[in-house]
Amino acid sequence: MNPTGAPGDLTQATHTRGGIGESTLRPDGRLKVTGEFAYSSDMWHEDMLWGHTLRSTVAHAAIRAVDITEALAVPGVHAVLTWDDLPTAVKCYGLEIQDTPVLAHGKVRHHGEPVALVAADHPETARRAAAKIRVDYAELPVITDEASATAPGAVLVHEGRTDHHAAHVPHPNIVHRQPIVRGDAAAAAERAEVIVRGEYVFGMQDQAFLGPESGLAIPCDDGGVELYIATQWLHSDLAQIAPVLGLPEEKVRMTLSGVGGAFGGREDLSMQIHACLLALRTGRPVKMVYNRFESFFGHVHRHPARLAYEHGATRDGRLTHVRARIVLDGGAYASSSPAVVGNAASLAVGPYAVDAVDIEALALYTNNPPCGAMRGFGAVQACFAYEAQMDRVAARLGLDPVEFRRLNAMEQGTLMPTGQRVDSPAPVAELLRRVRARPLPPERQWETAGGDADIRALPGGLSNTTHGEGVVRGVGYAVGIKNVGFSEGFDDYSTARVRMEAVNGTPVATVHTAMAEVGQGGVTVHAQIARTELGIAQVVIQPADTRVGSAGGTSASRQTYVTGGAVKHACEQIREQVLERGRRRFGSYHPAWATAELLLEDGKVVTETGEALASLADVLGDEAIETEVEWRHRPTQPLDRITGQGDGHVQYSFAAHRAVVEVDVELGLVKVVELACAQDVGKALNPLSVTGQIQGGTTQGLGVAVMEEILVDPVTAKVRNPSFTDYLIPTILDTPAIPVDMLELADQHAPYGLRGGGEAPTLSSTPAVLAAIRDATGLELNRTPVRPEHLTGTAGS
């Protein structure tokens, strides 16, 4: 029996052609805006129990004892599990390094680490029982930053490391370190006529997806388990879950349930193994749902970073060299820190042509909350710093900041710091030109026709802090570069299964992939691809599950490229088979079958000149055509450990922003009035969807410019604001007009020429807003987010 809220087929038919390039609407859009869409937290199963996680109340401590006696005695409790109950020798998991215990053992390494699990017949019962578990902690000194991590005699967050980075890191509290050296930075520095050094701090951002971690595990008669789960990558989860459960992968059957946003925060496991363990132990379906408070502890965050930069330039405005040192705080567990390091290092210079670079990026192990993937993935922190530097160098040279950027902008053919040649369009200068060419919003835009102030258009908004007093406008620019797809030699592929058949005389394609729809619109785009390739109107998108091969993660701006590419390739194979069958069945009726280039259009096989040869329904008859393909993008190479050289990335994505802000310089409050974006997307498969991605990414970048930050106590390493009361994300009143200028310069290596677009706007949005605030205030502002006290010199001691 399927549980309530299990996903179903999404059938999509359009009146237009509904192919690529059209803004067809999401098949689940209406359900979502009317509140009828079933998210994973809405799932329900008869007889189900509720799981609850007991988490550590301290950041770093030895566990002397865990006593579950009282919890087990609570009526309604069906199971209480600790490390001792894990069924196999595999007790840890992790995306790249398996350093994360399923439940803490021996010690806890961060505030909120899972220690024990409870299953009960009511969520409140489970919560109360968990509160009766006694954990005896002996607190250890906390590692919170680079100094404490690498100090002589520092406690090791992970002792006895054997992972593949352990041998090359300078200290066991460093997860991974990647240098990138090209040209002779020292010699270039001698030539430089201006040198600008700066140190920058990037705060810890949360993905803040609205649907908290949740899922439903159902034990099966064969000893296996079904897991309905909101995730970004079913097969990556599967590979981590099955060994811990001691089950072969085919006995862990996973189905993607409704995902309420992700942004990287669902790349790591949260409650997946926990729910399965409880279900297998109790023999009952188990549902787990985090509340917002727990969600802040239930997923990794964006790495906070400290970045030190040196830029050199000649008087005529040419960069001579860049030196950079980027220290990312990976927190207590590795998560995707190594890959984030690779990105931060290889993209550290930004979209500029620089011959001499000397870069070092590293991620620390600390007792702070674990950090990992978030939209922009290492490139975000670097962009904030290098764009601040570009403005400062321009100012020192007396050059206009946009002009200085254009003088140094990379283009197709430019060599990256890794030595990789950029082999598709890189319209960096053009993107900047476009955002600058836009007319500015009118001055004093808050004034109404009657001469009053519309406070919603002013800093402070509804809080009524100014009617125009103290308000100064600022304008700032930024541009960024993001890689698309998995890098550094990772075998990045996706699987698509497509079937075409005639149903009641209508040709229908069914697309089955394991792609996680997390809101990005893959379910829309796959149908568009099938329509374009197969010339049909009706497409069924099946739920994503593990009955089909891996689609890779919904991350790295890669799904339209890679799973879209797989769907396209599968459709092409179907088309060939359709034509072959057509030739077999009808070839003798018309000579064009043998000679002409044939197309599938409007449900028919047609010649190039549009002459119809047969209907698809007739060609198909009552026999479906089905195929499954695995599709890969061009391979990438690992980066050299010492020099960082290598063709590490498959594609680059560029966006530029112009921010217009009004700052109340007396109160330090900011209203972002407009964030204009220009982005090259190669080919917009669905322009409406791409616009949504650009506006969403822009807004997420705005968030970390002016408000979003997880505050971690520097003494206790405990999270201080795990709630939406004190972790603020932009409301609609904080979200400016975001005009979007989309370029479509094809990348000949990519399906349809498309360029992954979901992340690039998150990069440049933040530094553009910061630049605009600097423009308004004249302040240096070397950290983000910027808070009112930073703008008013009242941060205290």
To the nearest whole angstrom, how small is the minimum distance from the Cβ of residue 769 to another protein? 14
To the nearest whole angstrom, how small is the minimum distance from the Cβ of residue 719 to another protein? 10
To the nearest whole angstrom, how small is the minimum distance from the Cβ of residue 203 to another protein? 13
Cβ closest to another protein, residue 348 vs residue 712: 712
Residue 386 and residue 350 in contact, taking contact as beta carbons nearer than 8 Å: yes
- CA atoms of 627 and 500, how far apart (whole Å): 9
To the nearest whole angstrom, how small is the minimum distance from the Cβ of residue 731 to another protein? 5
Contact between 472 and another protein by CB under 8 A: the answer reads: no
Cβ closest to another protein, residue 148 vs residue 466: 466
- CA atoms of 642 and 660, how far apart (whole Å): 42
258, 370, 459, 553: residue in contact with another protein (rule CB under 8 A): 459
Cβ closest to another protein, residue 132 vs residue 787: 787
Going residue by residue from 734 to 763, which x/- string records binding to another protein, judged by CB under 8 A?
Answer: x-----------------------------
To the nearest whole angstrom, how small is the minimum distance from the Cβ of residue 713 to another protein? 10
- CA atoms of 343 and 652, how far apart (whole Å): 12
User: C-alpha angle 790/667/477, rounded to 5°?
Assistant: 60
Supply the Cα-derived Rg of the chain in whole angstroms: 27
To the nearest whole angstrom, how small is the minimum distance from the Cβ of residue 4 to another protein? 24
Cβ closest to another protein, residue 399 vs residue 707: 707
To the nearest whole angstrom, how small is the minimum distance from the Cβ of residue 120 to another protein? 15
Cβ closest to another protein, residue 425 vs residue 460: 460
For the segment 285-324, give every residue that binds another protein (CB under 8 A). Answer: 291, 293
Cβ closest to another protein, residue 424 vs residue 735: 735
Cβ closest to another protein, residue 461 vs residue 489: 461
β-strands 114-120, 134-139 pairing: unpaired
Cβ closest to another protein, residue 2 vs residue 463: 463
406, 467, 547, 581: residue in contact with another protein (rule CB under 8 A): 467
Cβ closest to another protein, residue 277 vs residue 669: 669
Residue type, 441: P
Q: CA torsion sign, 257 to 258 to 264 to 265? A: negative
Contact between 123 and another protein by CB under 8 A: the answer reads: no
12, 100, 466, 695: residue in contact with another protein (rule CB under 8 A): 466
Residue type, 398: G
Place of tokens 């970390």: 704
- CA atoms of 741 and 766, how far apart (whole Å): 18
Encoding tokens for residue 453? 């102030």
For the segment 703-732, give every residue that binds another protein (CB under 8 A). Answer: 706-707, 711, 720-721, 723, 725-726, 728, 730-732
Closest Cα to residue 70, out of 30, 19, 128? 128
User: C-alpha angle 194/199/201, rounded to 5°?
Assistant: 150
For the segment 590-649, give every residue that binds another protein (CB under 8 A). Answer: none
Cβ closest to another protein, residue 466 vs residue 636: 466
For the segment 658-697, give every residue that binds another protein (CB under 8 A). Answer: 666-669, 671
To the nearest whole angstrom, how small is the minimum distance from the Cβ of residue 789 to another protein? 4
Cβ closest to another protein, residue 268 vs residue 664: 664
To the nearest whole angstrom, how small is the minimum distance from the Cβ of residue 734 to another protein? 5
Q: Can you state the angle between helices 760-777 and 687-706, rounded to 10 degrees?
A: 40
Q: Which stretch binds another protein (CB under 8 A): 268-276, 417-425, 464-472, 523-531?
A: 464-472
2, 88, 463, 588: residue in contact with another protein (rule CB under 8 A): 463
Q: Which stretch binds another protein (CB under 8 A): 344-352, 360-368, 425-433, 460-468?
A: 460-468
Sheet with 61-67: strands ordered across: 107-108, 61-67, 134-139
- CA atoms of 650 and 636, how far apart (whole Å): 6
Contact between 461 and another protein by CB under 8 A: the answer reads: yes
Cβ closest to another protein, residue 72 vs residue 711: 711
Contact between 127 and another protein by CB under 8 A: the answer reads: yes
To the nearest whole angstrom, how small is the minimum distance from the Cβ of residue 699 to another protein? 13
To the nearest whole angstrom, how small is the minimum distance from the Cβ of residue 791 to another protein? 10
Q: How far is CA 66 from CA 116, 126, 127, 244, in A?
A: 9, 17, 17, 21
Q: How far is CA 773 from CA 463, 671, 677, 767, in A?
A: 20, 10, 17, 10
Q: Which residues are CB-contacts of 348 (< 8 A; sequence separation ≥ 6)?
A: 180, 322, 324, 326, 357, 359, 361, 382, 386, 417
Cβ closest to another protein, residue 739 vs residue 788: 788
To the nearest whole angstrom, how small is the minimum distance from the Cβ of residue 467 to another protein? 7
224, 460, 521, 644: residue in contact with another protein (rule CB under 8 A): 460
Give the chain's length: 797
- In the Cβ-directed half-sphere of 514, how many Cα atoms lie within 13 Å? 28
The residues that bridge with 217 in the sheet, in sequence order, are: 227, 286
Cβ closest to another protein, residue 609 vs residue 731: 731
To the nearest whole angstrom, how small is the minimum distance from the Cβ of residue 737 to another protein? 14
Cβ closest to another protein, residue 156 vs residue 795: 795
- CA atoms of 479 and 349, how far apart (whole Å): 11
Determine the size of the site formed for another protein (CB under 8 A).
41
Encoding tokens for residue 128? 């109360």
Residue 234 and residue 345 in contact, taking contact as beta carbons nearer than 8 Å: no
- CA atoms of 225 and 244, how far apart (whole Å): 13
To the nearest whole angstrom, how small is the minimum distance from the Cβ of residue 732 to another protein? 8
Closest Cα to residue 774, out of 345, 408, 472, 411? 472
The residues that bridge with 186 in the sheet, in sequence order, are: none
To the nearest whole angstrom, how small is the minimum distance from the Cβ of residue 670 to another protein? 9
State the maximum Cα–Cα separation within the chain, in Å, rounded to a whole number. 88
Cβ closest to another protein, residue 220 vs residue 733: 733
Phi, psi of 190 (to 5 degrees): -65, -40
Q: CA torsion sign, 419 to 420 to 425 to 430? A: negative
The residues that bridge with 663 in the sheet, in sequence order, are: 472, 670
For the segment 777-796, give every residue that binds another protein (CB under 8 A). Answer: 787-789, 792, 794-796
Encoding tokens for residue 512? 């089955």
To the nearest whole angstrom, how small is the minimum distance from the Cβ of residue 730 to another protein? 7
Place of tokens 């680490």: 113
Contact between 470 and another protein by CB under 8 A: the answer reads: yes
- CA atoms of 253 and 225, how far apart (whole Å): 6
Beta-carbon count within 10 A of 319 CB: 24
Cβ closest to another protein, residue 150 vs residue 465: 465
To the nearest whole angstrom, how small is the minimum distance from the Cβ of residue 710 to another protein? 10
14, 23, 414, 465: residue in contact with another protein (rule CB under 8 A): 465
SS3 category, 585: helix
Per CB under 8 A, residues contacting another protein are: 127, 291, 293, 456, 459-467, 469-470, 666-669, 671, 706-707, 711, 720-721, 723, 725-726, 728, 730-734, 787-789, 792, 794-796
